[in-house]
């Protein structure tokens, strides 16, 4: 089993104490986002968890406890952009806090296990292509040697973020300009020792050296664990997504980052309501188990392929 922690909320930043408690107890409860009355109980022992993939904009709360992860293979997807408070309202200062945090994490776990995500990229009168190129270069130079890979994507408009996108005046670049822009970022990444990939993008940028990415990356996980995996593509993700199957333990509408482009939060009021339910000792994140809820133990298995030898 690959554990996703989490596409739905920023567990490392806000709920790391809860997560470590779940590892100690060896199991976690998760609600089905499409049917909240259905709750799964998952075993999260080192025998069952082949790898943990963390998604975060600020893993600083986890840094002092990384040794507790030693029984588990893991890596981080660290989103670090150049936006201000108008886009990412509640994040710490990028240069003073988040860049040093990225560097410290990389020093602790290795550059291969910290993926830099400069995404999603959006264009406004303030955040022009020229702005992004300049900011990206500064960040890439600061992260040289601290990561081996940078992932980009371009903002998608959903029903949940459409109003914010319109208020910001987000616009799209023509295809030719978008490709030229992506090539500039790729060249900067290469100059700083990083490969570049795109996340769930229809546009094909491979001829510029930008591969289609898999964030839950079978190849990387196999390299980290030293074993082949039997997992297949995640059928629950978009067709453009290259991720292998995983199980997410997060809860929607619980992230306090306040990002204008976010698809995982319905409203600030709902986030506040859910956060009132947060209990570090709870089996489930920001929720309670009611009398009408049905708890089922989800059968999980290791995806490690059996290794045979003739000798």
Q: Tell me, letter by letter, the H, E, C secondary structure of 100-149.
A: HHHHHHHHHHCHHHEEEEEEEECECCCCCHHHHHHHHHHHHHHCECCECE
In a domain, 123, yes or no: yes
Buried b (16+ CB within 10 A) or exposed e, 283-300: bbbbbeeeeeeeeeeeeb
In a domain, 180, yes or no: yes
pLDDT, residue 308, reads: 41
In a domain, 304, yes or no: no
What does the DSSP 8-state code read for residue 62? G
pLDDT, residue 306, reads: 62
In a domain, 35, yes or no: yes
In a domain, 308, yes or no: no
pLDDT, residue 236, reads: 78
pLDDT, residue 215, reads: 92
In a domain, 310, yes or no: no
Structural domain including 282 reads 2-297
Q: Is the Cβ–Cβ distance between 206 and 212 less than 8 Å?
A: yes
In a domain, 127, yes or no: yes
pLDDT, residue 311, reads: 34
The pLDDT averaged over each successive group of 10 residues in the chain (311 residues) is: 96 98 97 92 96 98 97 98 96 97 98 97 97 98 98 82 88 94 97 94 85 91 94 78 91 95 86 95 93 92 68 34
In a domain, 303, yes or no: no
- Give the Cα separation of 240 and 201 in Å (integer): 6
Helix boundaries (H) for the chain: 11-14, 16-25, 99-109, 129-142, 162-168, 175-191, 218-225, 268-275
When divided into structural domains, the chain yields a total of: 1
């Amino acid at each position: 089993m690959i554990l996703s922690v989490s596409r739905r909320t920023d567990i490392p930043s806000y709920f790391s104490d809860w997560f470590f408690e779940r590892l100690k107890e060896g199991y976690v409860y998760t609600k089905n986002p499409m049917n909240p009355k259905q709750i799964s109980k998952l075993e999260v022992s080192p025998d069952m968890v082949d790898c943990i993939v963390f998604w975060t904009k600020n893993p600083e709360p986890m840094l002092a406890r990384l040794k507790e992860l030693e029984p588990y293979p893991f890596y981080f997807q660290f989103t670090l952009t150049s936006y201000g408070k108008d886009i990412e309202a509640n994040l710490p200062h990028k240069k003073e806090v988040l860049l040093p945090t990225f560097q410290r994490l990389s020093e602790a776990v290795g550059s291969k296990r910290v993926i830099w995500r400069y995404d999603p990229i959006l264009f406004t009168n303030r955040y022009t292509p020229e702005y992004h190129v300049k900011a990206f270069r500064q960040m890439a130079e600061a992260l040289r040697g601290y990561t081996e890979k940078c992932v980009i994507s371009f903002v998608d408009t959903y029903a949940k973020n459409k109003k914010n996108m319109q208020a910001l005046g987000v616009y799209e670049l023509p295809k030719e300009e978008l490709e030229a822009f992506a090539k500039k970022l790729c060249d900067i990444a290469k100059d700083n020792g990083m490969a570049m990939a795109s996340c769930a993008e229809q546009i094909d940028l491979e001829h510029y050296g930008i591969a289609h990415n898999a964030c839950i990356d079978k190849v990387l996980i196999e390299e980290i664990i030293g074993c082949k995996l039997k997992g297949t593509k995640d059928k629950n993700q978009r067709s453009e997504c290259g991720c292998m199957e995983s199980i997410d333990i997060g809860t929607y509408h619980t992230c306090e980052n306040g990002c204008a482009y976010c698809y995982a939060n319905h409203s600030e009021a709902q986030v506040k309501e859910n956060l009132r339910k947060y209990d570090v000792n709870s089996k489930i994140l920001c929720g309670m188990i009611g009398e009408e809820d049905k708890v089922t133990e989800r059968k999980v298995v290791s995806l490690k392929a059996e290794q045979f030898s003739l000798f």
